[in-house]
Amino acid sequence: MRCAIYPGSFDPVTNGHINLVHRGLAMFDSLIVAVARNSKKDALFELDERVELLRQCLADEPRVEVDTFEGLLVDYARRRGVGVLLRGLRAVSDFEYEFQMANINRKLSPDLDTIFMMTSEDHFYISSNMVREVARLGGSVKALVPPPVNARLNAMFGDKKG
């Protein structure tokens, strides 16, 4: 069975993330969506809430497991017995960072490969940072995030624009 890990902070999960999961499942038998615990980031949602939102958003896909990890991604992949990482690219600016990460991961774990997938043209402009900012300022993010995330953001910040 061919499995890949799709790691990220998913704070919050966006339609772009969900699109990448569904497209990744066309390449792999299963995916582990691995939510990073990063104490250095000022997260909008707690780790458990991000996991729960992802599970709600991906409830219709039995080939997806949502899990968490802390520390080095290469160690997590080794523990899970998975040799492929799936990473999304939105713009050229993403590539430089992702390229560096893929190379350091390869140096730390030579058997770990990274697959880059371009984000769908309908989602390339969406980032979790942008979604957080728009929501904090009272704008509608309904078209940018799955319904459970939109409901949670509206509960947090309200939706002044409908």
Question: Residue 42: its pLDDT value, please?
Answer: 82
Question: Residue 159: its pLDDT value, please?
Answer: 60
Q: Is residue 112 part of a domain?
A: yes
Reported in sequence order, the residue ranges of 14-159 that DSSP labels E, i.e. its strands, are: 30-36, 64-69, 84-89, 113-118
Distance of CA 40 to the CA centre of its chain: 17
For the chain, count helices (H), then strands (E).
6, 5
Mean per-residue pLDDT, 67-92: 94
- pLDDT tens-digit readout, 116-162: 998 888 887 888 999 999 999 999 999 999 999 999 999 999 765 54
Confidence of residue 73 (pLDDT cuts 50, 70, 90): very high
Mean of the per-residue pLDDT values of the chain: 92
What is the residue range of 82's domain? 3-124
Coil vs helix vs strand at 14: coil
Q: Is residue 11 part of a domain?
A: yes
Specify the length of the chain in residues: 162
For the annotated catalytic residues, the residue numbers are 17, 41, 90, 128
Q: Is residue 32 part of a domain?
A: yes
Q: Is residue 129 part of a domain?
A: no
Q: Is residue 144 part of a domain?
A: no
Question: Residue 123: its pLDDT value, please?
Answer: 80
The token pair that represents 143 in the structure block = 């078209």
Stated as kind and residue range, the H or E segment containing 108 is: helix 92-108
Contact 70, 36 (CB under 8 A): yes
Q: Answer yes or no: pTM beyond 0.85.
A: yes
Q: Is residue 94 part of a domain?
A: yes
Question: Residue 162: its pLDDT value, please?
Answer: 47
Number of domains in the chain: 1
Q: Is residue 157 part of a domain?
A: no
Q: Is residue 147 part of a domain?
A: no
For residue 17, the domain's CATH number is 3.40.50.620
